[in-house]
Amino acid sequence: MNRRRFIVTLTLALFMGGSQAFGIERDAVNQKITSLLQNKAYQGMEMSIHVYSLKKDAPVFSKEEHKILKPASNLKLVTTLAALKYLGADYKFKTKLYTDGKIEGDTLKGNLYIKGFGDPKLVSEQLWFLTNDLKRLGFQKVQGALILDESFFDDKRTVRNGSHGGQRAYDAPLGALSINFNTTAIYVQPGNQVGEPAKVIVDPTHDYIRVINQSKTTAGGKKEILVIRLPKKTHDVILVKGKIPLGAPEKRYYRNISHPLYYAASMFRRFFKEQGISVLGKNRFEATPLTVKEILTYESRPLRILVSDLNKISNNFIAEQILKTMAAELKGTPGSTDKGLTILGEFLKGLGIQNGYTLVNGSGLSYDNKMSAAQLVEVLKYGYREFKLFPEYVSSMGIMGVDGTVKDRLKGTLAAGRIRAKTGSLKGVVALSGYLLTQKQETLAFSMIMNDTKNRDVMMETLQNEILLYLCQLEA
């Protein structure tokens, strides 16, 4: 064990067990954190740290708290609080179905329109409920076309200044009518015997994905499977190649899809078919006319639930969908990133934060986003003081050592269960902001943003953990 790892292990050990019962005076905590940050091991790291007592309405510790750095997904704390404020915790996303015809017997004589209003969690289970509701209207056949409408948002699909064009799930395309986060899962298992191709299962099943399987099951050796999404004009091809040993465990791969509307059409048709509803016409993608008649509205779970799904697992897709939904609701359709960022700017201005920051999207998935720890703490202070917002806001964050993206941090220490926080991670960026309850029942708002050109991400996370442990021991 090297010296640095030994010091970290020993430090964490001292905060466990019986030593947790002892508090540390405020000045002593300040000195200990200051001394910790002076370690030469952290030389070259950029830091912005601000810790604020919500009980005493006064700073506890600060280090370059106004320094503007890359916050990564800590930006989601701004997006979600603004959404709770402007849309409301009870806001529900809608998916509406219309027709320009009429039902005669078991036939809908006309076209079936489906218009999306930005629901970020319209997944297979919800499609089943929606289709079941549709079935109760009494028709089993649609004479016309299936027309999908995503005009509630603009046509910009990529996350602003994100990674662009990647096939990973976290970089999925956006759209007002999106299914399963615009992703699909691919499961790969070894074949039944050596020499056979691997078993490839696409979940959920649909005809939008075509599989080309060039893999091979081997007697032994290392698993070397590649799962590549290849975009085509109206569908995607999943190319599976490489070797998988006989007896190897199944592995799941997530890939985003290239054409959200073609994917949505495929999924709707699949669920319609399962309920005995057939659409005779082709797929069309266009805006819904004002003259059509609404026949069904399906509503999502309330926003209070969705922001928890967003922050605990740091879901970029939900964040960007919510940003564009705010834009459409408050600034008019089509919802766009620019309109959404204007709303976030107005929100921050209301908190007294007027300049210095840079926002390019709502998820933090860009190195171009810039904020300071002091600015993020102002956001947290506002969230804490607004009773109508705080319960949903704080419960959306991960519980240290328990769940979310912080479930594996500081387990078995005084900090476990005492901290609600949002992580932020990009290469060379480690940020953590949220609320902390000391053992003397004092609530602190904190933000620690650390950037490093040497990409010492593990070291930055360890440093944050050590600071949190000191803060938990703070005496009132």
163 lies in some domain: no
Long-range contacts of 401-405 (CB under 8 A, 24+ apart): 403/312, 404/311, 404/312, 404/313, 405/312, 405/313, 405/314
Question: Could you please report the per-residue DSSP string of 39-67?
Answer: -GGGTT-EEEEEEEETTTTEEEEEESTT-
Residues 142, 288 within the same domain: yes
Residues 83, 147 within the same domain: no
Residues 443, 379 within the same domain: yes
Q: Does residue 334 have a cis peptide bond before it, meaning omega lies within 30 degrees of 0? A: yes
Residues 82, 102 within the same domain: no
164 lies in some domain: no
Task: Please state the domain count of the chain.
Answer: 3
Could you give the count of Cα atoms lying within 13 Å of 23 in the half-sphere of its Cβ? 12
| pLDDT, tens digit only, all 476 positions of the chain | 444 443 444 445 444 443 344 578 889 999 999 999 999 999 999 999 999 999 999 999 999 999 999 999 999 999 999 999 999 999 999 999 999 999 999 999 999 999 999 999 999 999 999 999 999 999 999 999 999 999 999 999 999 877 655 788 888 999 999 999 999 999 999 999 999 999 999 999 899 999 999 999 999 999 899 999 999 999 999 999 999 999 999 999 999 999 999 999 999 999 999 999 999 999 999 999 999 999 999 999 999 999 999 999 999 999 999 999 999 999 999 999 999 999 999 999 999 999 999 999 999 999 999 999 999 999 999 999 999 999 999 999 999 999 999 999 999 999 999 999 999 999 999 999 999 999 999 999 999 999 999 999 999 999 999 999 999 999 86
Looking at residue 430, which CATH number applies to its domain? 3.40.710.10
pLDDT at 6: 39
One-letter amino acid of 369: N
Quote the Cα angle for 111-116-122, to 5°. Answer: 115
Beta strand spans in 246-342 (E):
251-256, 278-279, 283-285, 293-299
pLDDT at 171: 87
Q: Which two tokens stand for residue 267?
A: 């999924």
294 lies in some domain: yes
Residues 312, 428 within the same domain: yes
Looking at residue 292, which CATH number applies to its domain? 3.50.80.20
In 3D, which of 255, 260, 310 has the Cα closest to residue 285? 260
Residues 449, 324 within the same domain: yes
Residues 358, 396 within the same domain: yes
Residues 188, 73 within the same domain: no
pLDDT at 1: 43
Query: At which of 256, 291, 324 does a domain end?
Result: 256
pLDDT at 165: 57
Q: Do the beta carbons of residue 401 and residue 16 sit within 8 Å? A: no
Which residues fall within 8 angstroms of residue 158, CB to CB, at 6 or more apart? 164, 165, 171, 173, 174
Residues 71, 85 within the same domain: yes
124 lies in some domain: yes
* Domain span including residue 454: 3-89+304-472
391 lies in some domain: yes
Residues 333, 290 within the same domain: no
pLDDT at 200: 98
d(CA 71, CA 348): 15
Could you give the count of Cα atoms lying within 13 Å of 48 in the half-sphere of its Cβ? 22
d(CA 199, CA 195): 12
380 lies in some domain: yes
Residues 271, 351 within the same domain: no
Residues 237, 270 within the same domain: no
Residues paired with 62 in a beta bridge? 50
